[in-house]
Amino acid sequence: MPAMQLKHRPADKQENAAVAVRDESDSKTEEPSKGGLKRRDYDKELERLHVELVKLQQWVVHKGLKVCIVFEGRDGAGKGGTIKAITERVSPRVFRVIALPAPSDREKSQMYFQRYLPHLPAAGEVVIFDRSWYNRAGVERVMGFCTEEMVHGFLRGVPLVERAILDSGVILLKYWLEVSPEEQTRRLEGRIHDQRKIWKLSPMDLKSYGRWNDYSRARDEMFAATDTEFAPWHVARSDDKRRARLNIISHFLSQVPYHEVHHEKVKLPKRGKINGPREPAHPVRYIEEKY
């Protein structure tokens, strides 16, 4: 089947089209999302979950836990937005996001899992993979970057590697974001018509867009081989981005037992009297204040 192409609309229609396309960054309006969840309700619940994520973060550091989260899904499924929702109120020194580029020639010659292992969490860390070793079962397979023999070898080896990861004390969670073909199209078109998001639309995205059925078959075979009792896949419907983010964060919090770490109440100490000029003594170069 020939690959479908995402085409630019005529220039005089782009402004109206950009309004019609759902905003992938989820602009802060009061309009309800597809599932009827209003922005103010989403923000209120997300704020509550952010408080719990901070408590979890403190517990992870306090107990030296090691947590690894894997996010997979088609282009436009909402992985990036979900990861941003998880990490926007926690410390990047504790919650580390890993999004590896294409492998170098040297990495291509290594054992496949080798480039991912150094990024696994140490004590007191939560590592989030924005795509992971499962690239081999998805994009590499569908786009022909590896042989079927390599894929089958990978699928046989994944349960063994993940068993070893768990045996080392890592809490491993795997999420697949499931998006419909119609919603994927809307989101990819949104990247074309929004200059803030055009960088998200790569030539690889366009090439893979028409291979929906191939990705579905690859997904199903990946699930069959790697959805184990000790490291299961958790699937989230992501057509409604707001609900998907809240559901995933809530599920994540339920999978890592934690308690609030109590600290002494913080109080600012008294500051001595400030003498002399408030401005720097050195002739500094202030930026132009346009706003």
In a domain, 183, yes or no: yes
Q: Which residues of 136-165 are buried (b: 16+ CB within 10 A; e: fewer)?
A: bbbbbbbeeebeeeebeebbebbeebbeeb
Q: Which two tokens stand for residue 105?
A: 């020639």
Based on its alpha-carbon atoms, the radius of gyration of the chain, rounded to whole angstroms, reads: 23
> CB pairs under 8 A, 24+ apart, for 262-269?
none
* Residue 19 in this model has a pLDDT that exceeds 90: no
Q: What is the dihedral of CA 110, 112, 114, 118, to 10 degrees?
A: 140
The band of 198, judged by pLDDT with boundaries at 50, 70 and 90, is confident
In a domain, 59, yes or no: yes
Q: What is the CATH number of the domain that holds 106?
A: 3.40.50.300
Q: Contact at 8 Å (CB) between 46 and 57?
A: no
Count Cβ atoms within 10 A of the Cβ of residue 103 and give its class: 0-12 exposed, 13-18 middle, 19 or more buried. Answer: middle
Q: Which residues pair with 98 in a beta bridge?
A: 129
Comparing 37-41, 205-209, 246-250, 266-270, the range with the smallest average pLDDT is 205-209
Predicted local confidence at residue 30, as pLDDT:
43
Residue predicted with more confidence, 126 or 11:
126
In a domain, 15, yes or no: no
Question: Based on the structure, what is the number of domains in the chain?
Answer: 1
pLDDT tens, 172-185? 999 999 999 999 99
In a domain, 276, yes or no: no
pLDDT tens, 53-63? 999 999 999 99
Residue 124 belongs to domain spanning: 30-255
Residue predicted with more confidence, 139 or 1:
139
The band of 36, judged by pLDDT with boundaries at 50, 70 and 90, is low
In a domain, 21, yes or no: no
In a domain, 219, yes or no: yes
The band of 2, judged by pLDDT with boundaries at 50, 70 and 90, is very low
In a domain, 19, yes or no: no
Q: Contact at 8 Å (CB) between 79 and 130?
A: yes
- Work out the widest C-alpha separation in the chain, in whole angstroms: 76
Q: How many helices (H) and strands (E) does the chain have?
A: 10, 5
Q: Say whether pTM exceeds 0.75.
A: yes
The band of 26, judged by pLDDT with boundaries at 50, 70 and 90, is low
In a domain, 286, yes or no: no
* CA–CA distance, 198 with 204 (Å, rounded to integer): 13
Q: At 145, is the secondary structure helix, strand, or coil?
A: coil
* CA–CA distance, 78 with 65 (Å, rounded to integer): 27
* CA–CA distance, 6 with 192 (Å, rounded to integer): 9
Side-chain-facing half-sphere of 151: CA atoms under 13 Å: 19
Predicted local confidence at residue 31, as pLDDT:
46
Predicted local confidence at residue 282, as pLDDT:
87
Predicted local confidence at residue 35, as pLDDT:
55
